[in-house]
């Protein structure tokens, strides 16, 4: 009885029109947000939420669905940021084209990184990705052409969609980052329902069993990494054009890789909404504490990480499925109560009880 109920979440019971309505409201909110909140901070906040939700969603494809824990995703972010910026500085190539080249290079990196590392299981793979990330950071830091440790300024060009630069307003950045998030989320949605999505989950659950069913696990891991890395590289180009300055410490540090997966893990890995939920919670938290404690300089900057760290430990110990898992558990608890109420009502001879579970 409860087994049956557990399967049907409240959202599934929402009527079709309710869902459409919800979608319309959400869309209106997202589209209208920059016109309601015109200040730079709320817009900046939302842009960062979108960016990190997108990065975490991209990480989620590899880490959440396919079960390969990467702690080196900053490599792809850095590839995106550096490729478009270097091409713009030296060859005056449009950042949009730079983004495309960045994605292509991220695919090359996928083969270089994935081919050897995917032979490693579990913890070994995680450590190898840390090593790869650090190698990339050290290389770029010592590469004068790429600005070395000093970094690179994105040349200031007349603002506009063509140049991918906006100096007087953040609104275009808002929509571009929203689009990025939409793109990777839609991709994930399709993946979930495709053969690749099933295969990813099978590989995560038991690679040997997956092989016994004819799944070429190496190839599918590479596919997951390729998709994941490509979107992460796009995020890197976006970041470079948004901040207009990049250096190894901002686009290639281990901490970036860490935060990307923390967002996903906190929200709930292997779920469509987890990374978005994670970003909605974590980014305001980190931006808020950063602003609030700005007076404290470097020390203040660490406060959000204290909270991150503690949250992650608590989550791993008590709710490894993340906020999504927590939410589902609450939902189930509610539904069981609704069903009890219904049962009680039926006993009293009433017809139905109004509740989230009723039609």
Partner 1 sequence: MILLQSVVNGVLLGLVYALIAAGLSLIFGLMEIVNFAHGQFLMLAMYGAYWLAVLYGVDPLFSLPLWTIVLFLLGVATYWLIIARVLRAPMLAQIFSTFGLGVFLQSLAQFFWSPDFRLVPSPLVKGRIEILGLFVGIPELVASLGAVIAFALLYLFVTRTETGRALQATSEDREAAALVGIDSHRMFALGWGIGLACVGIAGVLLSNFYYIFPEVGFPFALIAYVAVALGGFGSIPGAFVAGIIIGLVEVLSGLLIGPAYKYLFVFLVYLIVVFTRPQGLFGRY
Partner 2 sequence: MPALLRLEEVSKRFGGLVANDRISLEVQEGEILGLIGPNGAGKTTLFHCISGFYTPDSGRIFLRGQEITGKSPEEIAQHGIARTFQIVRIFKDLTVLDNTIVGALLRTRSVQEAKKKAVQILEFTGLKDKMDRLAAHLTIADKKRLELSRALATDPVLLLLDETMAGLNPQEIKEAVDLIRAIRERGITVFVVEHVMEAIMTVCDRIIVLDYGRKIADDVPANIATNEEVIKAYLGERYHVAG
Choose one: 93-101, 125-133, 191-199, 237-245; the region binding partner 1 (CB under 8 A).
125-133
Is 12 among the residues that bind partner 2 (CB under 8 A)?
A: no
In the set 26, 27, 156, 209, which binds partner 2 (CB under 8 A)?
A: 209
Find which of partner 2, partner 1, none residue 36 binds, CB within 5 to 8 Å per kind.
none
Token code pair at residue 265:
């893990």
In the set 100, 302, 326, 353, which binds partner 1 (CB under 8 A)?
A: 302
- Residue whose entry in the numeric block shows the structure tokens 């770029």: 140
Window 202-221: residues binding partner 1 (CB under 8 A): none
Is 67 among the residues that bind partner 1 (CB under 8 A)?
A: yes
In the set 81, 191, 210, 260, which binds partner 2 (CB under 8 A)?
A: 210
Q: What whole-number distance in Å separates Cα of residue 33 and Cα of residue 44?
A: 12
Helical axes 195-205 vs 217-243, angle rounded to 10°? 100
Is 182 among the residues that bind partner 1 (CB under 8 A)?
A: no
Is 199 among the residues that bind partner 1 (CB under 8 A)?
A: no
Nearest to 275 by CA among 68, 57, 114, 113: 57
Is 306 among the residues that bind partner 1 (CB under 8 A)?
A: yes
Find which of partner 1, partner 2, none residue 298 binds, CB within 5 to 8 Å per kind.
partner 1
Is 135 among the residues that bind partner 1 (CB under 8 A)?
A: yes
Q: Exposure string (b/e) for 296-305, b if CB count within 10 Å is 16 or more?
A: eeeeeeebbe
Is 11 among the residues that bind partner 1 (CB under 8 A)?
A: no
Is 134 among the residues that bind partner 1 (CB under 8 A)?
A: yes
Residue 221 vs residues 28, 225, 269, 342: alpha-carbon distances, Å: 37, 6, 16, 47
In the set 1, 36, 213, 299, which binds partner 1 (CB under 8 A)?
A: 299
Is 208 among the residues that bind partner 2 (CB under 8 A)?
A: yes
Is 99 among the residues that bind partner 1 (CB under 8 A)?
A: no
Q: What whole-number distance in Å separates Cα of residue 38 and Cα of residue 43?
A: 7
Is 157 among the residues that bind partner 2 (CB under 8 A)?
A: no
Instruction: Name the residues that contact partner 1, by CB under 8 A.
Output: 63, 67, 69, 71, 116, 119-120, 122-124, 126-128, 130-132, 134-135, 138-139, 141-142, 254, 258, 262, 265, 269, 297-306, 308-313, 315-318, 320
The binding site for partner 2 (CB under 8 A) comprises: 3, 7, 193-195, 198-199, 201-202, 205-206, 208-217
């Amino acid at each position: 009885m409860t087994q049956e109920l557990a399967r049907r979440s409240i959202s599934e019971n929402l009527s079709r029109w309710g869902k459409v309505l919800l979608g319309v409201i959400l869309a209106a909110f997202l589209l209208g947000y920059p016109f309601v909140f015109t200040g730079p901070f709320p817009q900046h906040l939302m842009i960062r939420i979108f960016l990190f939700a997108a990065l975490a969603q991209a990480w989620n494809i590899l880490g959440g669905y396919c079960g390969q824990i990467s702690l080196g995703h900053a490599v792809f972010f850095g590839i995106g940021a550096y490729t478009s910026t270097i091409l713009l500085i030296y060859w005056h190539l449009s950042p949009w084209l730079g983004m495309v080249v960045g994605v292509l290079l991220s695919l090359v990196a996928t083969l270089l990184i994935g081919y050897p590392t995917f032979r490693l299981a579990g913890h070994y793979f995680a450590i190898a990705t840390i090593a790869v990330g650090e190698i990339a950071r050290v290389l770029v830091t010592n590469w004068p052409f790429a600005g070395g440790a000093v970094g690179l300024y994105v040349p200031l060009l007349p603002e506009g969609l063509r140049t991918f630069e906006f100096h007087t307003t953040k609104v275009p950045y808002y929509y571009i980052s929203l689009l990025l998030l939409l793109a990777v989320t839609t991709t994930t949605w399709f993946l979930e329902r495709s053969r690749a999505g099933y295969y990813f989950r099978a590989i995560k659950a038991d690679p040997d069993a997956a092989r016994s069913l004819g799944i070429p696990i190496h190839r599918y891991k590479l596919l997951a990494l390729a998709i994941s890395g490509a979107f992460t590289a796009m995020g890197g180009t976006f970041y470079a054009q948004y901040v207009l300055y990049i250096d190894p410490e901002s686009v290639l540090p281990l901490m970036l890789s860490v935060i990307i997966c923390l967002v996903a893990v906190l929200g709930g890995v292997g779920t469509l909404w987890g990374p978005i939920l994670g970003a909605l919670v974590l980014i305001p938290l980190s931006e808020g504490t950063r602003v609030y404690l700005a007076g404290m300089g470097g020390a203040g900057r660490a406060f959000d990480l204290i909270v991150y760290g503690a949250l992650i430990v608590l989550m791993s110990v008590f709710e490894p499925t993340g906020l999504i898992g927590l939410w589902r558990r609450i939902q189930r608890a509610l539904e069981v109560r609704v069903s009890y109420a219904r049962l009680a009502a039926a006993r009293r001879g009433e017809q139905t009880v109004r509740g989230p579970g009723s039609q």
